[in-house]
Structure 1
Amino acid sequence: MNRPLQSRPTADYATITAPQTVRLQRLLSGPVERIWNYLTDDALRRTWLAAGQMQPAAGTSFTLTWRNDELTDPPGNRPEGFDSENSLQSTITEYDPPHRLAFTWGSGEVAFDLEPQGDKVQLTVTHRGISDRTNMLMVGAGWHQHLDTLVARAGGGTPEPFWDGWTRLRDEYDALIPA
């Protein structure tokens, strides 16, 4: 299947790799242990995704708490239907530092794979179990914007206002994902 969702060659859109599954990739400055910390350390993860203390072992539960208004300054215009804070109970399903982290995401799963490439690190995010097209749009835009925020944070740059980027990307994914 592997259908890229790209309208521009320079964009880093999600790829649909199987039904209910998207994959996104980003190349980040290493070393791999530094990027691993952005995935597992609460203080770093909250700068680009969500807060939540993790125990470093498969089978442990934790709560992710999103405060997307705090990811960028300014945050942009939060769309209707979103609260200032949302939480999700998750369980770590794989914990293999510094190469693979996977955890439950509702009835699905998200996996992060890190692969050193010289002085860079290829981050691959695979989200499985996306229930329908509406959620595919939200998940695609969400991961895309969160990863763009990570690239900026890990690279010492300034990310675009989170909600403005998410809204733009949701509209772009709506045009790219088949109805």
Structure 2
Amino acid sequence: MLGTLKPTDDGRFALRFERRFRHPQAKVWRAITETDQLRAWFVQILDYDRLRFDLGPGARLVFVPKAEHEAMGIGYGQVTRFDPPNLLEYTWDSEKLRWELEPDGDAACRMVFTNIFDDRDSGVSLGAGWHAGLDLLEASLDGRETNQPAWESPQADYERTLG
């Protein structure tokens, strides 16, 4: 299912995804909070050996790109909401990323992920990128090979719906 894009009250834009995983909430929480698990699915341009992602209320975050992506520069953030294993919210430069988890039966979890950003034109590329990343998350949770999926297919879908 594609993400949805809506304006926020403060003039920004919220890209929202809802996914259901056939895994317990605790397992999904670990996948979105532990660096060794983020490597398998999260933003693929990051250098996870230099990333600073120590979570807790008010924690400072540092997003370091791999050498071949140095031109993007280091990103900085801060944890704004932290309620394990239900809610994680943090900033990454001017963006806000919010992860909400809730149990869905005994062995499943429902996730709502929202990315808030300034420029509506970014919605297509962010939508395709997060869509591909969440597909990778599902594969990682399922124990399937997590090769980086092609983002071109969701890119075309997001261009049609958000462009």
Q: Same fold (TM over 0.5)?
A: yes
1:130–1:136 Cα contact (<8 Å) kept: no
1:140–1:173 Cα contact (<8 Å) kept: yes
Alignment of 1:19-58 (within 5 A): 19=8, 20-50=13-43, 51=48, 52-58=51-57
Secondary structure of 1:27's aligned partner: strand
- Partners of 2:159 and 2:61 lie apart in 1 by 32
Cα RMSD, aligned residues only: 2.2
For structure 1, list consecutive stretches of 5 or more residues without a partner in the other structure. 1-11, 68-81
Residues 65 and 120 of structure 1, relative CA distance in 2, 3 Å threshold: farther
Residues paired across the two proteins, number:
150
1:100–1:114 Cα contact (<8 Å) kept: yes
Residues 84 and 161 of structure 1, relative CA distance in 2, 3 Å threshold: farther
- Partners of 1:167 and 1:130 lie apart in 2 by 23
Q: CA deviation at 1:153?
A: 0.6
Residues 143 and 101 of structure 1, relative CA distance in 2, 3 Å threshold: same
For structure 2, list consecutive stretches of 5 or more residues without a partner in the other structure. none
| TM-score, normalisation: structure 2 | 0.81
Secondary structure of 1:83's aligned partner: helix
Residues 161 and 44 of structure 1, relative CA distance in 2, 3 Å threshold: closer
Asked whether 1:62 is paired with 2:61, we answer yes
Identity %: 23
Cα-to-partner distance string for 1:2-40 (whole Å, 9 max, x where unaligned): xxxxxxxxxx10012334111011111222111111111
Give the ranges of 4+ consecutive aligned residues of structure 1 lying more than 6 Å apart after TM superposition: none
Residues 33 and 85 of structure 1, relative CA distance in 2, 3 Å threshold: farther
- Partners of 2:58 and 2:156 lie apart in 1 by 37
Between stretches 36-45 and 165-174, larger displacement belongs to: 165-174
| TM-score, normalisation: structure 1 | 0.75
